[in-house]
């Protein structure tokens, strides 16, 4: 009886669905309605972020990746200063409050503007700007620019790259190049460049002989989901770099000696994993043993190389992790799976996790001292 | 945006129209099954599409877009029926979702009518289970409840259908 009813129900639903057909009216005002909704969301997000800043003394980041007006709020507790950064189409405003006073620096940026990654290191704001020309290209890359919060014009540091990380002491910049994005498209290997910000010298940490993937002809996909972008990260002491990328659906990580002079030519160990985050002398990252298998949280000891893993305490679909205070981990989860994304925090001392912000819808990035909302 | 490259012919694959043409038909079928009303179903799909499209900058593949849209359609349909519940309560107007599809042309009309007399969560669970063939866990994620709750919704929904459709 039950099976028969289920069969009848299944057949009825499919019969009804076939009557709907594929001919549907496409509304002519889709663009206008989407724009209106985005504007309304931004107003709400800005108010929410400001409320978080004021009420809790915490940190908020709202980053939108499209060309419409957007806002970014940043506070940097480790230095005891307050910085508010707001971006919009063609402009970037920084309000710096190190001692109770507020300074204001308005920087005009070229149009069209898409800031898709932003970081605050010391008194300098770093960001990747994509132009329309970049967006149209087969490889998505952008210009890396920096602007001192105290004032001054933005400077282009790297013309074409897709990922960057500034060393903890602010003295070195690591960035990636890929075929057609920073180096010749005929050269299939991505590279990692170290740029000494004091001397201006650069050197390459990964050379073309190092195959990033067993299939050397595999296409490099620097912007494939679930990563918002490939990962480059510095260890807290500035001696090692972790590099993460996706290639043909495989996620790989590698540790590279950042103190090496010249090119590292071979024998860099890689292993499956993504969303790396350094905490002390360990590198934490996410493993996905197989398609559909539950994610696992792994810890790799930088000294011994030993790896210990456990079921991930986060919701499925981790795309980014960052160390938080007291040895905790923040993770941005969910978005690639089609679920509402969460910003979650896990304390490995307490073995407890919590959701910090649900559905940070317009945020792609956060930093340890930031809470993303939107 | 690799996965949107196959959308639409002669259209900018990133345009809203291309996205709409690619994803709205499937969403409309789901919406009509949930609401029983093609016109209402289309309104719900448009609203849901606008909501998801406003966030499309972070959606890197069409599977993610489709999943978001499917969930948005279900949420919009549920919002609609919740609102209708309030309207009925205060206006004493009974709204029975009615299809404009010709019932004489559609088989198993009793099952269809009975389905649309179910509470909206039971109906959503049955449609996701028996039309979309989703797993219990996937339905739980979509409806934001526990798998046990989904099993209960499906069981109670089938029980109600069985009582109403005596000749099945």
Give the distance from residue A305's alpha carbon to the nearest chain B alpha carbon, in angstroms. 34
Indicate the DSSP class of residue B116.
T
pLDDT in tens, A155-198: 888 887 878 888 988 899 998 877 667 777 676 666 788 898 88
> Are residues B106 and A364, on separate chains, in Cβ contact within 8 Å?
no
Which A-chain residues 118-177 have CB contacts (< 8 A) with chain B?
none
Region B136-152: mean pLDDT is 87
> Are residues B131 and A337, on separate chains, in Cβ contact within 8 Å?
no
| A225 vs B32, B60, B68: nearest CB | B60
Computed over every residue of chain A, the mean pLDDT equals: 66
> Are residues B50 and A33, on separate chains, in Cβ contact within 8 Å?
yes
Instruction: Give B25's contacts in chain A (Cβ within 8 Å).
Output: 20-22, 24
Q: Is the pTM of this model over 0.80?
A: no
Q: What pLDDT sits at residue B88? A: 53
Q: How far is CA A362 from CA A38, A45, B52, B88, B93, in A?
A: 10, 9, 12, 37, 40
**Closest C-alpha to B128, from B157, B96, B105, B106:** B157
* % of residues, chain A, pLDDT over 90: 5
Q: Highest-confidence range of A220-224, B35-39, B96-100, by mean pLDDT? A: B35-39
* Residue B5 sits at the chain A interface (C-beta within 8 Å): no
Which A-chain residues 224-263 have CB contacts (< 8 A) with chain B?
224-226, 228
Instruction: Give B130's contacts in chain A (Cβ within 8 Å).
Output: 6, 9-10, 13
Size of interface A-B (CB pairs under 8 A): 123
Task: Look at the block and give the residue holding tokens 């957007």.
Answer: A70
Q: What pLDDT sits at residue A309? A: 92
Region A242-262: mean pLDDT is 76
In terms of pLDDT, which residue wins out, A163 or A151? A163
Question: Which of B38, B130, B156 to substitute to test the interface with A, most A CBs within 10 Å?
Answer: B130
pLDDT in tens, B32-55: 888 888 888 888 888 888 888 776
Where does the pLDDT of residue B13 fall: very low under 50, low under 70, confident under 90, or very high at 90 and above?
low
Phi, psi at A44, each rounded to 5°: -65, -45
Which B-chain residues 44-83 have CB contacts (< 8 A) with chain A?
46, 49-51, 53-55, 57-61, 63-64, 66-68, 70-71
Q: How far is CA A287 from CA A241, A276, A299, A353, B60, in A?
A: 19, 10, 10, 18, 21
- Side-chain-facing half-sphere of B130: CA atoms under 13 Å: 31
In terms of pLDDT, which residue wins out, A207 or A237? A237
Cβ atoms of A97 and A345 within 8 Å: the answer is no
Question: Which of B60, B145, B153, B156 to substitute to test the interface with A, most A CBs within 10 Å?
Answer: B60
Q: What pLDDT sits at residue A28? A: 74
* Residue B145 sits at the chain A interface (C-beta within 8 Å): no
Determine which helix (DSSP H) or strand (DSSP E) holds A51, and give its type and residue range: helix A30-56
Give the distance from residue B97's alpha carbon to the nearest chain A alpha carbon, in angstroms. 15
A20-34, A72-86, B110-124: least confident range:
A72-86
Computed over every residue of chain B, the mean pLDDT equals: 74
Tokens of A79: 């230095």
């Amino acid at each position: 009886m039950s099976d028969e009813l289920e069969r009848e129900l299944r057949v009825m639903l499919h019969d009804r669905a076939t009557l709907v057909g594929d001919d549907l009216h496409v509304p002519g005002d889709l663009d206008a309605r989407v724009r209106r909704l985005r504007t309304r969301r931004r107003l709400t997000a800005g108010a929410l972020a400001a409320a978080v800043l004021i009420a809790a003394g915490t940190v908020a980041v709202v980053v939108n990746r499209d060309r419409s007006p957007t806002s970014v709020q940043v506070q940097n507790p480790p230095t005891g200063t307050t910085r508010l950064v707001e971006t919009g189409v063609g402009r970037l405003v920084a309000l710096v409050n190190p001692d109770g006073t507020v300074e204001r620096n308005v920087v005009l940026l070229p149009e069209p503007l898409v800031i898709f990654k932003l970081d605050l290191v010391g008194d300098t704001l770093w960001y990747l700007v994509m132009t329309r020309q970049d967006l149209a290209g087969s490889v998505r890359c952008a210009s890396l620019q920096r602007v001192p919060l105290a004032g001054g014009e933005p400077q282009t540091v790297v013309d074409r790259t897709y990922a960057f990380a500034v060393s903890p002491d602010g003295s070195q910049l690591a960035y990636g190049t890929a075929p057609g994005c920073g180096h010749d498209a005929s050269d299939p290997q991505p590279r990692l460049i170290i740029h000494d910000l004091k001397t201006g010298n650069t050197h390459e940490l990964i050379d073309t002989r190092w195959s990033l993937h067993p299939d050397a002809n595999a296409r490099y996909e620097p912007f494939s989901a679930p990563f918002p972008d490939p990962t480059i990260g510095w260890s807290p002491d500035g001696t090692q770099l972790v590099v993460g990328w996706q290639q043909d659906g495989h996620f790989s990580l590698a540790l590279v000696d950042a103190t090496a002079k010249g090119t590292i030519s071979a024998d860099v160990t890689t292993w499956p994993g993504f969303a790396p985050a350094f905490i002390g002398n360990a590198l934490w990252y996410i493993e996905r043993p197989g398609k559909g298998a539950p994610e696992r949280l792994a810890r790799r000891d930088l000294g011994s190389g030993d790896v210990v893993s456990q079921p991930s305490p986060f919701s499925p679909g981790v795309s980014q992790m960052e160390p938080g205070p007291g040895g905790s981990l923040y993770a941005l989860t969910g978005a690639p799976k089609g679920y509402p994304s969460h910003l979650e925090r896990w304390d490995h001392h307490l073995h407890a996790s919590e959701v910090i912000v649900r559905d940070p819808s317009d945020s792609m990035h956060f930093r340890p001292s930031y809470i993303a909302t939107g | 945006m690799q996965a949107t490259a196959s959308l639409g012919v002669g259209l900018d694959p990133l345009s809203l129209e291309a996205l709409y043409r690619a994803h709205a038909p499937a969403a409309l079928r789901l919406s009509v099954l949930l609401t029983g009303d093609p016109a209402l179903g289309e309104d719900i799909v448009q609203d849901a599409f606008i909501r998801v499209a406003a966030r499309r900058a972070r959606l890197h593949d069409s599977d993610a877009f489709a999943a978001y849209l499917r969930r948005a359609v279900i949420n919009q349909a549920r919002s609609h029926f919740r609102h209708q519940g309030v309207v009925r309560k205060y206006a004493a107007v009974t709204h029975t979702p009615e299809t404009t599809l010709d019932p004489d042309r559609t088989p198993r009309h009793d099952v269809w009518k009975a389905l649309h007399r179910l509470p909206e969560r039971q109906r959503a669970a049955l449609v996701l289970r028996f039309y979309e063939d989703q797993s219990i866990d996937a339905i739980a994620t979509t409806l934001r409840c526990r798998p046990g709750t989904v099993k209960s919704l499906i069981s109670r929904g089938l029980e109600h259908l069985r009582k109403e459709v005596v000749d099945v």
